[in-house]
Amino acid sequence: MTEILVVDDSKVMREMIVACLRVVDDSTFTHAASGLEAIEKLALKPFDLVVLDLNMPDIGGFEVIEFIRGQDKLQRLPILVVTTRGDEGSRSRALSTGASQFMTKPFAPDAILANVRSLLRQDAAGGAP
């Protein structure tokens, strides 16, 4: 079972992301509409991958990444940032904070799917402890 957490304050955007990723084998999706909701869900339940927006009402995606990487058990969690902030500054900040991959909106369905599959593969190859 592949548990994917989709974090975006826009419901329709989350639905679009899920529509793109539905074909990932044996996947289930959990929605989070804010950065805080995402952090709460991550603290209480294990996930295999997070798709994360940067711009959210309460706390932004950067803070979510910082939090995730500050947790021992979440060190290896793949984080795919999907954002409208396509500038180089956001990109390098996201990656240096700990995002695994960075892509911009609008995204092509095939591209996000390929990114997610590759992150999940790497994670599996990286091996469980």
Nearer residue to other proteins within complex by CB, 56 or 99? 56
Query: Is residue 110 close enough to count as binding other proteins by CB under 8 A?
Result: yes
Q: Give the number of residues in contact with other proteins, rule: CB under 8 A.
A: 39
Query: Is residue 10 close enough to count as binding other proteins by CB under 8 A?
Result: yes
Contacting other proteins (CB under 8 A), which of 52, 67, 81, 99?
67
Which stretch in 78-86, 94-102, 120-128 sits in contact with other proteins by CB under 8 A? 78-86
Query: Is residue 103 close enough to count as binding other proteins by CB under 8 A?
Result: no
Query: Is residue 44 close enough to count as binding other proteins by CB under 8 A?
Result: yes
Closest separation between CB of residue 55 and other proteins, Å? 5
84 CB neighbour count, 10 Å cutoff: 12
Tokens of 30: 């959990």
Query: Is residue 37 close enough to count as binding other proteins by CB under 8 A?
Result: yes
Q: How far apart are CA 44 and CA 18, in angstroms?
A: 22
Query: Is residue 12 close enough to count as binding other proteins by CB under 8 A?
Result: yes
58 CB neighbour count, 10 Å cutoff: 13
Query: Is residue 87 close enough to count as binding other proteins by CB under 8 A?
Result: no
Closest separation between CB of residue 14 and other proteins, Å? 10
